[in-house]
């Protein structure tokens, strides 16, 4: 049941910096429920609230675990603006500088006490007021900024959006938010993170949009396509799979059946209107299609468009290598020496290798030899740029080379926002760029990076091709290697770990899909403890306690797991380990955020990129201070990330989680002295050998495997999950003009369907015949559509 309360806003306790969420103290004038106090705390999404003004709120009483009873407002309106005196007082307030009481009274006399709504609905009415140009500008700007926002927020509240979703919608569309929703609510499903199709469909149904409306069908198609790419890592969807998923989404949200042929027609129409790209049986989001093409083009450009070729004397390179080895007491193997030479001489170079093969040592060699060859002092080496996808990986790179390194986002000047245009990027100046942990770079980030590199800059990509691919769409580093168009070197000889090490040997067995006979045996750097999924937490706790008792720092221990939920999931492991690994927790200052409770001293993980604060998805930090809420501001915390202290607002807390246990995906680019890795049947849907390989290669010194032997064996045997991309083919086509063989990763799904979308009739399938692609390049007339055209018409 909806309740209401009316009263004066006495004080604003808290305003979220990144949303419309506010906490108000309201002096009650009337209420529909029994309340024994004169004042009540009201929380919800509000535009600008003016202390001293009167408002009415609709919603319900709720009980907060820490702050007790409060009123959760779902809607509100200003009562001050409901009276003539209130409107006059408002228009003569500081919001409208230059409009005094007499002018405000004149406005109300002309337009009535609904003057604000009149001006919002028809801006031309301001011309009837006889105001100066400056007064007209101040009046309309103040009304639009304050009341336009207020009306928008009220309507978004009525639609039931959360504070974060409301802020995201308003940030994107501003005062046009409601217009966008009324025009096509389904556009939000692919443009607002966290807002799914079913939620939007309920709103659309309330607006009278029928089950087979083309807007609804297109919304389902785009949602399915984006989910297939941005959730599963593909850069396109197979046509039959997309048709099937779209139908499932449409019929799952409402019980009515949708004609498959109508969905197929909508897909083809979307291709005609360039909302998506259709190429043979492949259907792409436009941004991913363009990104793959542009990556291929930029790689070709960097390989072939240099004004001057790279020419170094072989003897001089050898002398520089000898000097570097002597200066830093390094002895390179023959494969490492060759890798350094090849990298130095190539406009673009790819270096790959597993753990212990010396990739990081080679990066040091490349930078040192490059500086010696080009007579560059270390202090003047600003033309050498080093970067990695995460802050932790960049710090590791900086430590290894004794040079500055940054995240790729920071290098490109990406400082925030969901959409990034070419104008937002910083074009690079310099002569050499080295990117580490390249397997973590997704298609769109690689596109942005390459587009900013000048023709004259050498580029070296370093990574491990056997690790998990990027979180975002694509398998860019692997596709670049498999294209065989770019000079590359794979390191196979082990240098880093001693002869007694078994971690590297185990990693090689996993890459080959082999279950080693000594998997369960204890070695000098590895052990195995059998336990069930229900025992994982207790066994992990016991291991951590033993390690701590031996004098090891908690900072050296990292638990990795594939999944968040369940008795052996990341969330439960963090709850179990937090009091043990941060023993001061019980008496330390704390703050709540969602399901998390953070204490000073806690290890935390950043879940989303926040370029403004220079912290990124996967960065690990430690909370060193928590500050209580102040007037007009919520709690803040200071987190130390890799030596940098970052102050986070309360809205930022939602992008943090405890990190005593973290996901294997998030651990990429990091190394830990001791890794504890559970693997049980509960994780079976995540089984993939590259997942296990990535996890165990995070361990520098000790690896402790716990769980079920059969789970490990099945995970080792499970081939890496396929990602469907066309970057390899695009690169080959760009470099050679020839079609490449189908990506070995690509397995087009054949689904039974009454209407075979792939085999549409010629009248509906003309788009397949006239778009140039890999499948028809040799069949389309190069002068298609040019009949009767004289070349001189172009002169």
**Residue 357 labeled ligand binder:** yes
**Residue 113 labeled ligand binder:** no
**What's residue 734's pLDDT?**
95
CA-to-CA dists, residue 672 to 3, 520, 530, 559, 620, angstroms: 54, 22, 23, 10, 12
**What's residue 107's pLDDT?**
93
**What's residue 528's pLDDT?**
96
**What's residue 448's pLDDT?**
94
Q: Are 54 and 44 a contacting pair, CB within 8 Å?
A: no
**What's residue 779's pLDDT?**
47
**Residue 166 labeled ligand binder:** no
Q: What is the pTM of this model?
A: 0.78
Helix segments in 283-421, DSSP class H:
286-304, 314-328, 334-345, 359-373, 391-401, 408-412
- Superfamily (CATH) of domain 503-717: P-loop containing nucleotide triphosphate hydrolases (3.40.50.300)
What gap in Å lies between CA 714 and CA 720, rounded to an integer?
Answer: 12
CA-to-CA dists, residue 82 to 59, 88, 732, angstroms: 20, 11, 68
**What's residue 497's pLDDT?**
52
Do the domains 3-158 and 290-491 sit in the same CATH topology, yes or no? no
Nearest Cα neighbor of 568 from 748, 404, 708, 700 is 708
Structure tokens at 560: 């990795």
Nearest Cα neighbor of 242 from 211, 282, 274 is 282
Question: Which parts of the chain have pLDDT scores under 70?
Answer: 17-18, 147-148, 150, 154, 163, 416-424, 496-500, 630-633, 740-795
What gap in Å lies between CA 356 and CA 495, rounded to an integer?
Answer: 5
What gap in Å lies between CA 520 and CA 526, rounded to an integer?
Answer: 9
Rg (CA), the chain: 30
**Residue 356 labeled ligand binder:** yes
Sign of CA dihedral 621, 626, 627, 632: positive
**What's residue 87's pLDDT?**
85
Burial class of 521 by CB neighbour count within 10 A (0 to 12, 13 to 18, 19+): exposed
Residue whose structure tokens are 């919800």: 44
Q: Are 85 and 61 a contacting pair, CB within 8 Å?
A: no
Q: Residue ranges per domain, the chain? A: 3-158, 184-280+740-795, 290-491, 503-717
Residue whose structure tokens are 């580029």: 459
**What's residue 27's pLDDT?**
93
CA-to-CA dists, residue 589 to 623, 644, 654, angstroms: 10, 21, 18
676 membership: H or E segment, kind and range: strand 672-679
**What's residue 496's pLDDT?**
57
Using DSSP, how many helices (H) and how many strands (E) does the chain show? 27, 26
**Residue 52 labeled ligand binder:** no
CA dihedral 704, 710, 712, 716 (to 10 degrees): 150
SS3 433: strand
Nearest Cα neighbor of 372 from 340, 404, 400 is 340
CA-to-CA dists, residue 212 to 207, 250, 256, 283, angstroms: 14, 9, 9, 22
**What's residue 793's pLDDT?**
38
What gap in Å lies between CA 698 and CA 707, rounded to an integer?
Answer: 18
Q: Are 745 and 720 a contacting pair, CB within 8 Å?
A: no
Q: What is the CATH number of domain 290-491?
A: 3.40.50.300
Nearest Cα neighbor of 780 from 280, 94, 302 is 280
Q: What is the CATH number of domain 3-158?
A: 2.40.50.140
């Amino acid at each position: 049941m909806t309740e209401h309360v009316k009263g004066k806003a006495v004080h604003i306790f808290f305003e979220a910096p990144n949303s419309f969420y506010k906490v108000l103290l309201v002096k009650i004038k009337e209420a529909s429920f029994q309340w024994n106090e004169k004042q009540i705390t009201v929380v919800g999404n509000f535009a600008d609230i003016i202390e001293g003004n009167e408002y009415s709120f609709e919603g319900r009483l709720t009980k907060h675990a820490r702050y007790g009873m409060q009123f959760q407002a779902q809607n509100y309106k200003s009562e001050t603006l409901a009276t003539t005196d209130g409107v006059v007082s408002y228009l003569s307030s500081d919001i409208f500088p230059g409009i005094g009481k007499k002018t405000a009274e004149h406005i109300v006399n002309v337009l009535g006490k609904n003057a604000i709504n009149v001006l919002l609905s028809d801006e031309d009415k301001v011309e009837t007021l006889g105001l100066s140009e400056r007064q007209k500008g101040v009046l309309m700007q103040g009304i639009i900024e304050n009341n336009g926002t207020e009306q928008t927020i009220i309507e978004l509240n009525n639609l039931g959006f959360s504070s974060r979703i409301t802020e995201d919608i308003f940030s994107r569309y501003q005062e046009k938010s409601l217009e966008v929703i009324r025009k096509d609510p389904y556009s939000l499903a692919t443009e607002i993170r966290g807002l799914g199709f079913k939620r939007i469909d309920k709103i659309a149904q309330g607006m009278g949009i029928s089950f087979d409306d083309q807007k609804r069908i297109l919304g389902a198609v785009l949602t399915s396509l984006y989910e297939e790419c941005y959730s599963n890592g593909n850069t396109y969807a197979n046509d039959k799979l997309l048709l099937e998923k779209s139908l499932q989404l449409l019929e799952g949200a409402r019980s009515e059946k949708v004609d498959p042929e109508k969905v197929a027609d909508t897909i083809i129409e979307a291709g005609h209107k360039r909302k998506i790209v259709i190429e043979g049986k492949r259907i792409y989001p436009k941004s991913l299609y363009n990104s793959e093409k542009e990556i291929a083009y930029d790689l070709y450009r960097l390989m072939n468009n240099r004004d001057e070729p790279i020419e170094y004397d072989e003897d001089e390179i050898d002398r520089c290598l000898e000097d570097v080895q002597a200066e830093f007491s390094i002895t390179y193997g023959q494969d490492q020496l060759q890798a350094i030479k090849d990298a130095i001489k190539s406009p673009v170079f790819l270096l790959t290798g597993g753990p212990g093969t010396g990739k990081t040592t080679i990066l040091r060699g490349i930078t040192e030899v490059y500086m010696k060859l080009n007579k560059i002092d270390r202090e003047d080496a600003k033309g050498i740029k080093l970067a990695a996808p995460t802050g932790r990986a960049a710090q590791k790179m900086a430590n290894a080379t004794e040079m500055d390194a940054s995240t790729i986002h920071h290098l490109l000047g990406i400082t925030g926002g969901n959409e990034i245009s070419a104008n937002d990027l910083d074009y690079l100046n310099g002569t050499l760029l080295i990117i580490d942990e390249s397997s973590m770079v997704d298609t769109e980030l690689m596109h942005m990076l390459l587009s900013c590199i000048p023709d004259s800059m050498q580029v070296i990509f370093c990574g491990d091709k056997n690790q998990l691919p990027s979180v975002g769409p694509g398998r860019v580093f692997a596709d670049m290697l498999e294209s065989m168009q770019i000079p590359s070197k794979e390191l196979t000889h082990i240098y880093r770990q001693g002869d007694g090490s078994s971690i590297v040997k185990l990693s090689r067995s996993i890459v080959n899909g082999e279950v080693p006979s000594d998997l369960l045996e204890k070695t000098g750097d590895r052990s195995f403890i059998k336990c069930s999924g229900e025992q994982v937490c207790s066994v992990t706790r016991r291991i951590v306690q033993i390690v701590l008792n031996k004098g090891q720092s908690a900072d050296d221990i990292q638990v990795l797991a594939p999944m968040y939920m369940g008795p052996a999931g990341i969330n439960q492991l963090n709850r179990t380990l937090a009091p043990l690994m941060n023993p001061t927790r019980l008496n330390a200052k704390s703050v709540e955020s969602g399901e998390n409770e953070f204490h000073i001293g806690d290890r935390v993980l950043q879940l989303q990129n926040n370029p403004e604060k220079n912290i990124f998805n996967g960065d690990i930090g430690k909370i060193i201070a928590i500050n209580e809420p102040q007037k007009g501001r919520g709690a803040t915390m200071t987190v130390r990330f890799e030596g940098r202290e970052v102050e986070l607002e309360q809205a930022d807390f939602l992008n943090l989680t405890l990190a005593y246990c973290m996901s294997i995906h998030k651990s990429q680019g990091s190394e830990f002295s001791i890794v504890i890795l559970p693997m049980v049947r509960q994780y079976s849907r995540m089984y993939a050998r590259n997942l296990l390989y990535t996890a165990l290669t995070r361990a520098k010194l000790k690896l402790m495997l716990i769980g079920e032997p059969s789970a490990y064996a099945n995970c080792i045997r499970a081939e890496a999950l396929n990602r469907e991309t066309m970057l390899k083919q695009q690169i080959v086509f760009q470099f050679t003009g020839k079609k490449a063989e189908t990506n070995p990763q690509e397995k087009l799904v054949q689904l039974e369907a009454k209407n075979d979308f792939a085999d549409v009739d010629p009248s509906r399938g003309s788009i397949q015949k006239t778009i140039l692609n890999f499948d028809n390049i040799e069949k389309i007339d190069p002068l298609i559509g040019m009949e009767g055209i004289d070349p001189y018409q172009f002169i």
